Amino acid sequence: MASLSTPLISLPRHPNSSSPTFSTDLRFSSHPALSLIDQCTSIKQLKQVHAQMLRTGVLFDPYSASKLITASALSSFSSLDYARQVFDQIPQPNVYTWNTLIRAYASSSDPAESILVFLDMLDHCSECPDKYTYPFAIKAASELRALQVGRGFHGMAIKASLGSDIYILNSLVHFYGSCGDLDLARRVFMKTPKKDVVSWNSMITVFAQGNCPQEALELFKEMEAENVKPNDVTMVSVLSACAKKVDLEFGRWVCSHIQRNEIKENLTLNNAMLDMYVKCGSVDDAKRLFDRMPEKDIVSWTTMLDGYAQLGNYEEAWRVFAAMPSQDIAAWNVLISSYEQSGKPKEALAVFNELQKSKSPKPDEVTLVSTLAACAQLGAIDLGGWIHVYIKKQVMKLNCHLTTSLIDMYAKCGDLDKALEVFNSVERRDVFVWSAMIAGLAMHGQGRDALEFFSKMLEAKVKPNAVTFTNVLCACSHTGLVDEGRTFFYQMEPVYGVVPGIKHYACMVDILGRSGNLDEAVELIEKMPIPPTASVWGALLGACKLHGNVVLAEKACSHLLELDPRNHGAYVLLSNIYAETGKWDEVSGLRKHMRDAGIKKEPGCSSIEVNGSVHEFLVGDNSHPLCKEIYSKLDEMALRLKSNGYVPNKSHLLQFVEEEDMKDHALILHSEKLAIAFGLISLSPSQPIQVVKNLRVCGDCHSVAKLISKLYDREILLRDRYRFHHFRDGHCSCNDYW
């Protein structure tokens, strides 16, 4: 009990405090302590009033008790623990008091307690739950996504003859939508007899948040036709639907509609308009709105930052970042994730390093997931491992998002054992954790192990999704498991309920094509229920290169370029096929066509991490500080390779080079060879040389890496766009099935 020796509020003593009455008494409705409740600004002050109410007996009056409960549970300085202590002191709480506690818990971080209080009410309250009780209980079920519990409340409300109450029905629409049952939400909405603006708002919000933006916009139009006047809540949901649908035209109409109907703009509504403009790609509209906004918060600034970052206008993004009143972690995350997602992992890690130097704010889960993805792209295992240690030191909960990111990072950085260690260290594994582990095994050419993990996943009662099957089919592709791949592909829909998509067809074409079943691959493409995309024809083209089928390659390339005329990869593959069959005139013709059309081959880029620093090399690169030493090592490598019978495979040159010695020179300057040379001079003999390349490794570099691993007695891990190649003693883990 709080001491009253130095009260913050002067409390008059009740004249009859020596003989309090515990029944409802009109005297208590005007007791001075009750008016003081409204003046309290802290729990400390409220406890003083509580003490006076106990001494005078006012607390035992139901009305007075409910007023104290309301202040302790719902005020700006509320304390639910204290509210519960007060509640437990009341002999017979009335319905209003029960409702207040149920409401407070429903909006708290522990909504499950709200449901427990509701159940206590059924046992201990002399009155039944009323039309105010159910909306609060349903809100708690909504927060918990407890579908069966909420349906139980729905049934109880109907039995209590409250099934037509507008507040309860509106709560049910929101509840079913939160649980992902949009059909039930719509049915409740349709059966609502007299819909108010909250009814329409609830259903529009359900559609907007449930990835049904078109339905949300259509319902808004119906609302307009019914002459129901929208409010700011309506417009926030409609703008969200426009953003998800990327419908800038209708979004602009909505913004003008807000002004025409004199809907009062507030910060939330302005931020929704800002978000719509940014997600629809109109940063200019967003900037005009941003400049005239009378009030801005961190959401406003972060939205503008995100808009410029997503467009790749990092110069303007950094200006916004610097102008922000304060940079919270969300702002840092925008920069890190946008760099990572746009294929600029080195820049993402640079921003993360700046964040670390700033000391504040601390990285959160989003920061670490994005940074781990950047580490995975670059093969930066030192920094990735540091983040893993950081997670442990900060005692951060290793949830499924972080687990998946760590497994992906370790697998892509070449440490499959560490990836398995992370996988085995967690108890909860969702479909993405399992899929990441299957992908890691597939990437390292351990197809059989990947399929074994898939079996274990099914035993654990985890339902596979589309990503899982992409990884399973990749595992079959990388290890030549044709029959297994065929079986999984044709079982996807009938057995597992996963409809094959473009990625699955591309994988299946790759499996069939690599194994030489080109006719079956073509037949599969012709029978596809969806139009084949460039990736499908690209898989067939790659198979044609493997088996030297020029006629089919030309057909596949023609289809591919029809869909994607500027696909440089198609030209490179066809050029290599022509080169391998000695058709140098065709190679030269392709090169000329690319030059005339302004189509440039994506430059090969290889990276290698040494002592925590990532070093990048382009083909023929001479910008590295150790350039002289690297090229000296390359010359040494070339001599040792030649003396051991190595003959360059000149078919892997896109351009037509007449002089034989220039062809040899062009091949030795491939980016992965430069990275390997740098690794040889920078890493101790016991350290593996780990190289990451942005493109598929060419056949000549593959042969060179095998020989170097033998001649220099080094372990080399080379990750290209599709998989890992683990070279040791002149052999590769892919068994040349790459």
The span from the CA of 129 to the CA of 114, in Å, is 13
Residue 689's beta-bridge partner residues? Answer: 716
Question: Could you read off the pLDDT of 482-520 as tens digits, one per residue?
Answer: 999 999 999 999 999 999 999 999 999 999 999 999 999
Residue 90 DSSP class:
-
Determine the straight-line distance between the first and last CA of the chain, rounded to whole angstroms. 75
- The answer on pLDDT for 376 being more than 90 is yes
- The answer on pLDDT for 178 being more than 50 is yes
Q: What is the mean pLDDT of the chain?
A: 90
If phi over 0 gives left and psi between -120 and 50 gives alpha, with beta otherwise, what is residue 246? left
The span from the CA of 31 to the CA of 60, in Å, is 13
Q: For position 2, what pLDDT does the model report?
A: 35
Contacts for 682 with CB less than 8 Å, ≥ 6 apart:
610, 626
Per-residue pLDDT, averaged over 225-245, amounts to 95
- The answer on pLDDT for 418 being more than 50 is yes
- Poorest-pLDDT segment among 362-371, 646-655, 729-738: 646-655
The answer to whether 423 and 457 are in contact (CB under 8 A) is no
- Poorest-pLDDT segment among 5-19, 320-334, 386-400, 544-558: 5-19
- The answer on pLDDT for 301 being more than 60 is yes
> Could you tell me the two tokens for 559?
């289809």
pLDDT confidence tier of residue 650, bands split at 50, 70 and 90: low
Whole-angstrom CA distances from 716 to 339, 608, 633, 729 are 29, 11, 16, 10
Nearest one of 505, 501, 507, 459 to 479, comparing CA atoms: 507
Residue 500 DSSP class:
-
- Poorest-pLDDT segment among 22-36, 352-366, 467-481: 22-36
- The answer on pLDDT for 641 being more than 70 is yes
Contacts for 391 with CB less than 8 Å, ≥ 6 apart:
368, 398, 402, 406
For 114-122, the CB contacts below 8 A with 24+ separation are 114/139, 114/140, 115/140, 115/141, 115/144, 115/146, 115/149
Q: For position 652, what pLDDT does the model report?
A: 54
Question: Could you read off the pLDDT of 317-360 as tens digits, one per residue?
Answer: 999 999 999 999 999 999 999 999 998 999 999 999 999 998 78
The span from the CA of 722 to the CA of 478, in Å, is 9
Q: For position 16, what pLDDT does the model report?
A: 36
The span from the CA of 324 to the CA of 332, in Å, is 12
The span from the CA of 116 to the CA of 656, in Å, is 78
Per-residue pLDDT, averaged over 707-712, amounts to 95
Q: For position 655, what pLDDT does the model report?
A: 45
- The answer on pLDDT for 629 being more than 80 is yes
Q: For position 318, what pLDDT does the model report?
A: 96
Question: Could you read off the pLDDT of 381-406 as tens digits, one per residue?
Answer: 999 999 999 999 998 989 999 999 99
- The answer on pLDDT for 231 being more than 50 is yes
Per-residue pLDDT, averaged over 656-663, amounts to 41
Order of strands, sheet of 689-693, starting from the edge strand that comes earlier in the sequence: 613-618, 605-610, 689-693, 716-719, 724-728, 731-732
Q: For position 736, what pLDDT does the model report?
A: 56
- Degrees, nearest 5: CA angle 396-402-403: 110
Which residue ranges form the domains of the chain, and what is each CATH number?
400-597 (1.25.40.10), 605-732 (no CATH)
Q: For position 403, what pLDDT does the model report?
A: 97
